[in-house]
Amino acid sequence: RAKDLGKNRYCVFDSAGHRSALDRNSQLEEIERAIAKREFVLHYQPIIDLRTGRLNSVEALVRWMHPERGCLGPGEFLPLIEGHPLTIPLENWILGEALDQHQRWLDAGWDIAVSVNMSGTQLHQRDFVQRLRTALATRPRVDPRRLKLEVLETSALHDIAHVSRTISQCAEFGVSFSLDDFGTGYSSLRYLKQLPARRIKIDQSFVKNMLQDPDDLAILEGVIGMAAAFKRELVAEGVESMAHAKMLIQLGCFLAQGFGIARPMPGERLVEWASGWTLPSSLRGCTALDRE
Ligand code: C2E
Ligand code: MG
Ligand code: MG
Ligand code: MG
């Protein structure tokens, strides 16, 4: 329901006009209050190297622990603030919390890279790099190379040259970028060419259906080839079963994330999950197929 609200956010001034605008203002105020009251939490989803079974990194995913409506996923509130200045304080909190969690993991003897989603709005801020440096400087135990930032292909990157410079500047102090939901935007190839992101995350829609849909499989094969040609790491999202994982290994895509491996979970549960996780026997010894 709230998702629909999000989709209709450009229609707030039509027929229902005034009332909807007021609703939107009260929603924005509620989100602002929720940031102050610390009602947001991060869950983390593992990204696994299918060759070794080792944990490669985790992706931080925000949730809203709403006092009345329970745990809300990002689809229920991020669309409401997309392009709005409120994304900045929320994402600042998310970045800081992910870095703090990384430090808590370090305290537990666990050094794992964490990936944080960033909106286009954030990346277009002129002081973004400076704020990122400050966030890292105030947490001196965090190795910047353990931080990855994900940028959505579909987030309106109206100033590609600026975002490209931002990515290069971040690379200078070790923070790398991933192109998220690759293949769903209008300009995937342009982004691939112009944005020096180290990693590509192929969108889950292609991965989910690759076992039934030859077109999705063809797209996947194409992206695997492109990632290799551009020397980018490739992650497959939406790995919902070990059959998907096996196919990915055979195609030559080794980093995987999806419900078939693990759902997003609270940070303190992750260490325990990782100590219990092993590569299923169905994947052991599985290798990339030689392809002509
Ligand atoms: P995303 O960055 O592409 O994150 C992956 C989403 O796919 C997550 O949904 C995850 O729970 C879901 N997912 C993972 N594996 C599977 C699977 O095997 N099957 C299915 N059906 N889904 C799977 P979530 O947490 O609802 O997040 C949705 C989107 O919201 C994210 O997509 C990202 O674009 C955005 N988002 C989430 N957290 C943040 C954040 O902290 N900041 C920003 N700017 N955006 C965020
Ligand atoms: Mg992401
Ligand atoms: Mg994605
Ligand atoms: Mg997505």
pLDDT tens column, 172-210: 999 999 999 999 987 889 999 999 999 999 999 999 999
Q: Which band of pLDDT confidence, cut at 50, 70 and 90, is reported for residue 290?
A: confident
- With a 6 Å cutoff on the Cβ, whether 183 touches ligand 1 is no
22 has a pLDDT exceeding 90: no
pTM for the whole structure: 0.93
CA of 279 to the centre of ligand 1 (A): 23
Q: Which band of pLDDT confidence, cut at 50, 70 and 90, is reported for residue 19?
A: low
CA of 180 to the centre of ligand 4 (A): 7
The average pLDDT across 20-44 equals 92
CA of 210 to the centre of ligand 1 (A): 19
The average pLDDT across 35-55 equals 97
Residue 135 to residues 85, 138, 142, 163, Cα–Cα distance (Å): 19, 6, 10, 19
The average pLDDT across 148-165 equals 86
**CB neighbourhood size of 114 (10 A):** 21
Q: What is the pLDDT of residues 138-154, one digit of tens each?
A: 999 999 999 999 998 77
Q: What is the pLDDT of residues 203-262, one digit of tens each?
A: 999 999 999 999 999 999 999 999 999 999 999 999 999 999 999 999 999 999 999 999
- With a 6 Å cutoff on the Cβ, whether 267 touches ligand 1 is no
Q: Is 197 exposed, middle or buried (0-12, 13-18, 19+ CB in 10 A)?
A: buried
Q: What is the predicted pLDDT for the residue at 2?
A: 43
- Give the whole-angstrom CA distance, residue 143 versus residue 174: 8
DSSP-assigned letters across all residues of 36-64: HTT-EEEEEEEEEETTT--EEEEEEEEEE
Q: What is the pLDDT of residues 71-88, one digit of tens each?
A: 999 999 999 998 899 999
Rg (CA), the chain: 20
CA of 61 to the centre of ligand 1 (A): 6
Q: What is the predicted pLDDT for the residue at 195?
A: 95
Report the nearest-CA residue for atom 29 of ligand 1.
Answer: 74
- With a 6 Å cutoff on the Cβ, whether 117 touches ligand 1 is yes
Residue that is written with structure tokens 């925000």 in the block: 62
CA of 181 to the centre of ligand 4 (A): 5
Please state at what angle helix 128-137 crosses helix 87-107, rounded to 10 degrees.
30
Report the nearest-CA residue for atom 7 of ligand 1.
Answer: 238
Tell me the ligand closest to 235's alpha carbon.
3
Q: Is 70 exposed, middle or buried (0-12, 13-18, 19+ CB in 10 A)?
A: exposed
Of the candidates 198, 200, 196, 174, the one whose C-alpha atom is nearest the C-alpha of residue 257 is 200
Q: Are 201 and 255 in contact (CB under 8 A)?
A: no
- Give the whole-angstrom CA distance, residue 168 versus residue 228: 20
Report the nearest-CA residue for atom 23 of ligand 1.
Answer: 238
60 has a pLDDT exceeding 90: yes
Backbone angles phi, psi at 182, to 5 degrees: -60, 135
- Give the whole-angstrom CA distance, residue 202 versus residue 184: 9
Q: Are 116 and 95 in contact (CB under 8 A)?
A: yes
**N residues, the chain:** 292
Does the predicted interface ipTM exceed a cut of 0.85? yes
Of the candidates 43, 73, 79, 48, the one whose C-alpha atom is nearest the C-alpha of residue 60 is 43
